[in-house]
Amino acid sequence: MFVPAEPYAWFLRQAVASRALPVACLIIAGTAQARAETSCSDVKTSFAVMAEHYQPVIKSSFTSEELRILASKAPRKRPHQPLGFYVGTFGYKVEIVAQDAQQCALAVTVRLLLTPRLIEIASDGPCRPDIVAEHYLLHARQDDLLLNSYAEQARGVLDHLQLANPLRDQDVTAGDAVVRLVKAALDRLLQPYDEERQHALAAADTTEALTRLNQGCGRAT
């Protein structure tokens, strides 16, 4: 299971603890269908990788003072006042569909997911809510771009994945064996994801973006 990169993960944990937000983390999952006896000596696989990121829900569940307290305890400081925050939960699923009864042909679909996603804006802030939401949507778009990049990398990794003799373990089906190999390859690929995500989310705080935020928020920067 993957969680949002800091400092956004910290905000999410604090928000859940204080307000019980309806946020559920996605668990890495693999499914194999048509669990039949396999008699083929060679398993053919096809791969598809999808990046799925949905529009964040925008809420105003916190006051400016509550956001200030949260920000004062955060491990990383942002270049503007805590006018709100953005969080998005990352996970992936591996789905296997057998194209024949013997599982000699398998269609593998990998879904990289950003859901649920949330933008919180101070309920009593001195800033224009649309300007604040616009700013945190920039962070969400950086999240989207990184997810798209990893989806492209995953396609390349899976296209070159060595699936020689996936049935050497006779206690599992061909589908289960392929899921195991795909997950191992994805986990290796995703090792730097959290750190890269921190940098990607922070990249939204450009001089231009902060100037725009300042125009709608007075002393926001």
Best CA proximity match to 2, nearest among 27, 35, 19:
27
* pLDDT score at 34: 40
Q: Is 96 within 8 Å of 32 (Cβ atoms)?
A: yes
Count of Cβ atoms closer than 10 Å to residue 208 Cβ: 9
Round to whole Å and give the CA distance between 174 and 168: 9
DSSP 3-state of 143:
helix
* pLDDT score at 5: 39
Task: Note down pLDDT in tens along the chain; length 221 residues.
Answer: 333 333 444 444 444 333 333 222 233 344 444 444 445 667 789 999 999 999 999 999 999 999 999 888 877 778 888 999 999 999 999 999 988 877 788 999 999 999 999 999 999 988 999 999 999 999 999 999 999 999 999 999 999 887 755 555 555 677 888 899 999 999 999 999 999 999 999 999 999 999 999 998 865 44
DSSP 3-state of 87:
strand
* pLDDT score at 138: 97
